[in-house]
Structure 1
Amino acid sequence: MKGPLFYSKILLFGEYGIIKDSKGLSIPYNFFKGALKSSNKDTEQAKKSNASLKAFATYLEEMQKENTSLVTFDLETLKDDLDNGMYFDSSIPQGYGVGSSGALVAAIYDKYGIDKITVLENLTREKLLKLKAIFGKMESFYHGNSSGLDPLNSYLSLPILINSKDNIESTSIPSQNFDGKGAVFLLDSGSIGETAPMVHLFMEQMKQEGFRTMLKNQFIKHTDACVEDFITGNIKSLFGNLKQLSNVVLDNFKPMIPVEFHNLWKQGIESNDYYLKLCGSGGGGYILGFTEDIDKAKKALKDYNLEVVYNF
């Protein structure tokens, strides 16, 4: 048995802001993927994944008791499959901000959800919000608190535009120009970031009035503008807003940026060769970069592992 593939995602814009109703834009990233598998594999990885899935199944059983109207699962089949050694075979790195638990949640819902909302039907806003609510509840097992966006992106394999908490839609983004010099890239920080502590830190900072004001008047303002610019293909305006956003993050989200990247972040802003921003909750994992000239960025970041994800 091998289930369908579910891909990683990249939240281009909206990290932290979407908690407070900023816009957001999330795109599938097909470089990493995962699938449910059953085999007699006795590898450490398969055993670990199987044990983790058994704990998740227990959580889903409790969740179903509390929220029968929201979602029901074929728990019997799920438990049988787990007893037969099912595991999640994934190349998606954990703790890197590209949705490893999101792909797993999407795979479980796809295989064991009863009366599930499918990708083939007309996805109204109500259906998207219901899916987001289901996925948020499911993924909370891994993150303590989840918006449900990562699994939604993985499940639909479409770009998702977040207008506000109650207003999300699938969207299209300008098609890639593979000869273009502009690029979105991932920078490997070389360390793992944990979502829960970072979100907790953010919530603590939100208790300060100055931080809340900055979030509303600067962070959300530039995030919203970046989303608009990216979707409409307004590159000149996009990079103006990206520079501002990168600056705001460096000034106000320092704990979420690995220390050894503070100078690199600043150099990008000062040289205009590239602009960095958080990829997911930060604290490690990947850092997201944008450049108008990928050759310049590669030269400036020659000591780092750089992976291009989108060209324009």
Structure 2
Amino acid sequence: MSKPLPLGLIASGRMTESPLIRYPSLVSDLGPVVASSRRLASRYANALRAGHPADAKELGGCRLVLVQAPACELPAILSMLVESQISWKSKALALIDDDLDAEALQPMRALRAAVGSVTLAPSRERGVLVIEGDAAAVRVMNQWAAQARMSCIELKPQCKALYGAGLMAANSLLPPVLDGAMRSLRASGLSQLDSRRMLSLVVEMAIRGQRAHGRKAWLSPASMSRRPAVLNQLAALAEVDPVLAAYFQRSLIAILDYVGQDPDWLGDPPPQSQPSPD
């Protein structure tokens, strides 16, 4: 077994949603825990059931220093690290954050530290880490994950925002579409149970098709054989829920623009109005 990686933590803010809480194996070899006060550092160590409260200078003995802090408190954390008078050469820092990437630790890079960022990937299995940053930091984070018996997915440097955009699309754009689909099915007379079952099946088939064939599996509403039915569907929906019909129409226009197909046959959507009642 490889020698445990000397690991430290400097933290601020809430720890309840941290990957370090969800996966204790990530901090099984944790040493110094640093915060704005010893009392707060002790609270973090107790919450993690690992490490011990320490002063910032003790991080000098760590090969990898984890940085857990919300964006608004990160400048104070970085100031503490810069002023610690530690020699950061050959040391790595990993920012635990869903959105910020290694560039947020630029002041430490200027002190010759290797910097990176880490977050949890969506996963039904045991935890998977998404990492990015300087090559040296990525190597150390891979070693840290291996010791915790977790796997890693590596992003291109400075591309974490693109990764986030992909998850945002799935988390923020897809649910309103499903909600609209459910409203339309319910308006047709289906029960809530039947609507949910039917929608679940359609979504499952769409995901399987996307995984197997990519965009080729997509049924375009713009095909000449489909256009009359789609227009009839929008007209019927407009009679019972004009806001939802307009949303579907605008969404179809945006989708056809995205895939490079002509949306003009859909006409102009009506002016924006108030959302449909629940």
Bigger strand fraction: 1
Mark the structure with the bigger radius of gyration.
2
TM-score normalised over the length of structure 2? 0.29
